[in-house]
Amino acid sequence: MIIKQFEYAPLAHYSYAIISDGKMSIIDPERDPTQYYEYAHENDADIVAVMETHPHADFVSSHLQIHEETGATIYNSEKLGASYPFTAFDEGVTLNLGNVTLSAINTPGHSPDSITIIAKDDNQMALFTGDTLFIGDVGRPDLREKSGNMKAKREELAEMMYHTIRNKFKGIPDEAIVYPAHGAGSLCGKNLSSASSSTLGEERQGNWAFKELTKEEFTSYLLDSQPFIPSYFGFNVDINKMGSKNVRKATASIEFKFNAMENGWLVDTRNESDFKKGHLPGSINIQANSPKDKFETWLGSIIAPEEPFHIVIDNPYDLEAILNRVSKIGYESQLKSVITPDKKHLEQSNGLDLSDFKKNPSNYTIVDIRNQSEINEGTFFGGALTHPLNNLRNTYKDIPRDKPIVVHCAGGYRSAAGSSLLQKLMENAKVLDLGEEVKEFKNV
């Protein structure tokens, strides 16, 4: 059995390929299936199965496209209530993939329809746990009460997770390898390890969820201080239940304009220094320049599902890359155009006098846009107003305009987005970005 792990770093997402005797199965694929096709080609393997551990919330899966392009059978829990053609894969069902036996156990908790896929041959056993069991954590109760054919409230899902961890992995040997669908940085849990795999024995020893806790203690800890839910999560669940469109066809008709102007929501993906030097009026700066940034997360948090928007890029060569990233969360359907900006109509961002800010912080309204869980752990400025970026469009009206507004996060990426968003929303207000200089401050 050959197991290949694929990583998409901006969403901390892991997907997998299993190959045995020239047959290949893909588990929890991302939106663009090209890399899986390339891997099958390199290994002279036929893609015969594509498997979903649950309908994902943080990315759009390519399971339907893979089915249509390769003929692979889609396998997932019958409880999901999928609209696409699939074969039910729940407890008691087994599938042979070459010399590998694939089976499933129903592991509800993150969602009511979650499964863990077990792959076993004569030499090893692997558990593809989806968003149920992470390295060092378990999946959050994902708050989507209308998922599939089932309804489950937050507390009920947490209790399901308690019973899953207590009962569903019994009898599975410690040496079984655990392969999760997400790692550190994902919003699908709160304390995920940076490790990409583990063993069940290591999780039984080190993962908090396997400790001797009462059901009340377990559910209380699981529900406490979970990360925010981006607005696009429910949208992606619905897409994944229906099956997404072929990504190449979905992005092919999006218009590109060179040196152009647009109105409405303009998402400028350029580096923040270039953005501040000159950008189209009303743009918001969500940077997409690094595999470590969280462009998809913040695009899907600031721009609502089905809300029309335009993308601004620096160079026409960036077009395919940004279309790929937008499609990761299914937002290509609302993307009206991609443009390079008309340099004759650019405006500069307000610059912060850092020296004056250090000497006279009371002369400024300081806005902390970090996540609530970060704010709970401590502040940089005692008098700062807290307006987490994921909810800033709803709360900005509570920010006074009588002083210059200084926006900060923990490192500068989010404050570039937050300050530009406030400048768009708060006409005539003076909005300043503290940026990376925030690292010079702590408990001022």
DSSP letter at 180 equals: E
Domain count, the chain: 3
Confidence class for position 144, pLDDT limits 50, 70, 90: low
Domain of 250 in residue numbering reads as: 246-341
- Whether 365 and 270 share a structural domain: no
User: Does 347 reside within a domain?
Assistant: no
pLDDT at 347: 95
Q: Which of 182, 201, 235 is the last residue of a domain?
A: 235
Over the stretch 359-373, which tens digit does the pLDDT of each residue have? 999 999 999 999 988
- pLDDT(145) > 60: no
3-state SS assignment for residue 155:
helix
Find out whether 82 and 243 touch, Cβ atoms under 8 Å.
yes
Over the stretch 294-319, which tens digit does the pLDDT of each residue have? 999 999 999 999 999 999 999 999 99
- Whether 395 and 330 share a structural domain: no
- Whether 336 and 409 share a structural domain: no
Pairing assessment for the beta strands 198-199 and 23-27 based on DSSP bridges: unpaired
CA separation for the pair 324, 148 (Å, rounded) = 27
Over the stretch 97-131, which tens digit does the pLDDT of each residue have? 999 999 999 999 999 999 999 999 999 999 999 99
User: Does 349 reside within a domain?
Assistant: no
pLDDT at 154: 85
- pLDDT(143) > 70: no
Over the stretch 49-92, which tens digit does the pLDDT of each residue have? 999 999 999 999 999 999 999 999 999 999 999 999 999 999 99
- Whether 205 and 260 share a structural domain: no
- pLDDT(135) > 80: yes
pLDDT at 443: 56
In 239-317, the DSSP E strands lie at 255-260, 266-268, 283-285, 309-312
Over the stretch 3-35, which tens digit does the pLDDT of each residue have? 999 999 999 999 999 999 999 999 999 999 999
- pLDDT(197) > 70: yes
